[in-house]
Chain A
């Protein structure tokens, strides 16, 4: 079955034309680099996205601290992940990359801080 996909790995956004049979890609055109086919394979199997959001801080210099998942998580889990993120209260200073929730949602990804924040 022929399908069109937009590669989202970089701002170029190549329009990929793929032919899928039995869950496998048998042909792919339109990619300008090798990331395209890898993206298409993943997108057909299970779409994955990096989630970024903010957590509420307590006693820190910022009210909201930006966070993201350390790697892409299943797209189907994004809203569930948001529910968890809203429960978090961060009360310790963090540096960029510090883990806020390890194995977030039991996944193979951590929730990490994306901005440094010290005490108020």
Chain B
């Protein structure tokens, strides 16, 4: 007997329980799939939405201005009602093969299953300081914006008191406001480009409202500090004049990259060119989205496409 034939096979396996995975699961079920396994490594469904406690979600989808957890809650409630969707939490997928054999770790055990159809919805990761090449020492006090968001909103820890944010992406802007509300002093947001990368509404709501300076077409040329960050050197990219800002913490908000390690293991190098008809990718692991509403909309189509594949096969 081959290894394959001994394995339990599930019709549809979805990896990742963020908005993408949840929307795909519900849509596939509505399109007739009645054996769905949703694997999520965290203790809760919701993905990144759980740490996005700010409003701005659901305007398109629900015509309501919801916070991330509220947006997630609507899908979690729906999934709880559907018996054909088995949710397996604390299930960390560690390997994937071409034949859609999925290995995942649950507390205390290693499970292996095979999927007839597979949807990958593993989200994204953040670009780090290493990827943006800033000179200087390697002191403590440098975080990605998303990590700082998790520290404050989930763990209840304040990353620092005097902050400089590198990059004006939405997460950086939102964190500038969040840190200010929590009592930290955000000295500045520094952006390489001549325009903010985040939504204008976030510039207004997060910076203008709190008089936080935004330096466009500037860069952080150097980070100083021995054990902890002490200051940064900011350079005007037009005049090349420089100035220093004292701070104990630097947040890097330099963008997101799709998380596709598992698919790479299975031999997929480009998610936009998947040739297998039974492997699907949606949400931020497919491409980076600005709005959760769009993730939901597109992932529903992915769920339907997987259902269509299963119907034909």
Residue B241 lies at the interface, judged by CB distance under 8 Å to chain A: no
CA–CA, A68 and B53, complex, Å: 8
Whether a CB of chain B sits under 8 angstroms from the CB of A52 is yes
Contacts of B181 in A (CB 8 A): 51, 53, 78-79, 82
Q: How large is the interface on B (under 10, 10 to 19, 20 to 34, 35 or more residues)?
A: 20 to 34
Q: Are B182 and A75 within 8 A (Cβ)?
A: no
Q: In the bound complex, what is the Cα–Cα distance between A85 and B203 (angstroms)?
A: 24
- Min CB distance B296 to A, Å, is 15
Partner of A11, one of B70, B152, B209, B290: B290
Q: For residues 42 through 99 of chain A, which have their beta carbon under 8 Å from a beta carbon of chain B?
A: 47, 49-54, 56, 62-64, 66, 68, 75, 78-79, 82, 96-97
Taking a contact as CB atoms under 8 Å apart, the answer to whether B153 and A64 are in contact is yes
Interface size for A (C-beta < 8 A) is: 29
Set B56, B152, B183: member contacting A54, Cβ < 8 A? B152
Question: With A and B bound together, what is the CA distance between A115 and B76 in angstroms?
Answer: 11
Q: Which residues of A contact B135 (CB under 8 A)?
A: none
A53 to B182, CA, bound (A): 9
**Binary contact track B68-81/A, C-beta < 8 Å → 1, others 0:** 01100100000000
B237 within 8 A of A: no
Asked if B201 contacts A8 (CB within 8 A), the reply is: yes
Residue B274 is within 8 A (CB to CB) of chain A in the complex? no
Contact A115 B200 (CB under 8 A): no
B156 and A50 contacting across the interface, CB-CB below 8 Å: no
A6: which B residues are within 8 A, CB to CB?
200-201, 203-204
Residue of chain A at shortest CB distance from B54: A52
User: Contact: A8 with B205, CB < 8 Å?
Assistant: yes
A21 to chain B, nearest CB (A): 23
Chain B contacts for A1, CB-based, 8 A: none
Whether B291 lies near A64 (C-beta < 8 A) is no
Q: Map CB proximity to A onto B45-88 as digits: 1 under 8 Å, 0 otherwise.
A: 00000100111100100000111011001000000000000000
**With contacts A11-B291, A54-B156, A96-B73 known, what are 12 further pairs, Cβ within 8 A?**
A6-B204, A8-B204, A10-B59, A52-B53, A53-B181, A62-B154, A64-B155, A78-B181, A82-B183, A114-B53, A114-B67, A114-B70
Chain B interface residues (CB < 8 Å from chain A): 50, 53-56, 59, 65-67, 69-70, 73, 152-156, 181-183, 199-201, 203-205, 209, 290-291
Q: List 24 A-B contacts (CB under 8 A).
A: A10-B59, A11-B56, A11-B199, A11-B290, A13-B199, A49-B209, A50-B65, A52-B53, A52-B54, A53-B181, A54-B152, A54-B156, A63-B155, A63-B156, A64-B153, A66-B153, A75-B209, A78-B181, A82-B182, A114-B53, A114-B69, A115-B50, A115-B69, A115-B73
